[in-house]
């Protein structure tokens, strides 16, 4: 899945980069992690590719990084980790989770998702 770009109700433009990890700990658990950045480059594919290449491999020092949201299967448990210099408010986190849940529940939205 390509990076997602959308604007929150407070006009904060964000870029979300999806990442998937499988963990074996007696049984399989799939974790879907979504890293969140301020989208200052309006969906520039070169910028998103450079962020994807180092995602979760090292500490992210990007001043536009807000941390990540994790959805775990099969229980659909989610959490927000403010892992960057920036931090989303509770309302912003809830809005991002709503956007991501809508996209996850509607695969037709996966292609060509842009600002709304």
Collapse the DSSP code of 101 into the 3-class scheme (helix H, G, I; strand E, B; otherwise coil) and give the result: helix
User: What pLDDT is stored for residue 32 in this prediction?
Assistant: 79
DSSP letters for 45-90: HHHHHHHHHHTTTS----TTEEEEEEEETTTTEEEEE--SSS---H
Ranges of residues in the chain with a pLDDT under 50 are 53, 74, 113-116
Query: How many domains does the structure of the chain reveal?
Result: 1
User: What pLDDT is stored for residue 67 in this prediction?
Assistant: 92
CA distances from residue 4 to 25, 26, 39, 48, 75 in whole angstroms, order as listed: 30, 33, 10, 10, 24
User: What pLDDT is stored for residue 12 in this prediction?
Assistant: 95
Residue 11 falls inside a structural domain: yes
Residue 79 falls inside a structural domain: yes
Q: Choose among 60, 102, 94, 59: nearest CA to 78.
A: 94
The model's pLDDT over 7-24, given as tens digits with 9 standing for 90+, comes to: 999 999 999 888 766 656
Residue 51 falls inside a structural domain: no
User: What pLDDT is stored for residue 109 in this prediction?
Assistant: 64
Residue 67 falls inside a structural domain: yes
Which range marks the domain in which residue 77 is found? Answer: 1-21+58-110
Collapse the DSSP code of 19 into the 3-class scheme (helix H, G, I; strand E, B; otherwise coil) and give the result: strand
Residue 86 falls inside a structural domain: yes
Residue 76 falls inside a structural domain: yes
User: What pLDDT is stored for residue 44 in this prediction?
Assistant: 62
């Amino acid at each position: 899945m390509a990076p997602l770009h959308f604007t929150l109700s407070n006009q904060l433009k964000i870029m979300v980069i999806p990442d998937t990890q499988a963990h074996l700990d007696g049984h399989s658990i799939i974790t879907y992690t979504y890293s969140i950045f301020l989208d200052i480059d309006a969906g520039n594919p070169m910028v998103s590719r450079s962020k994807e290449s180092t995602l979760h491999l090292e500490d992210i020092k990007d001043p536009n990084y807000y941390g990540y949201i994790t959805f775990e299967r099969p229980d659909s448990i989610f959490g927000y980790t403010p892992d960057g210099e920036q931090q989303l408010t509770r309302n912003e986190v809830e809005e991002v989770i709503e956007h991501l849940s809508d996209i996850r529940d509607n695969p037709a939205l996966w292609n060509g998702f842009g600002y709304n």
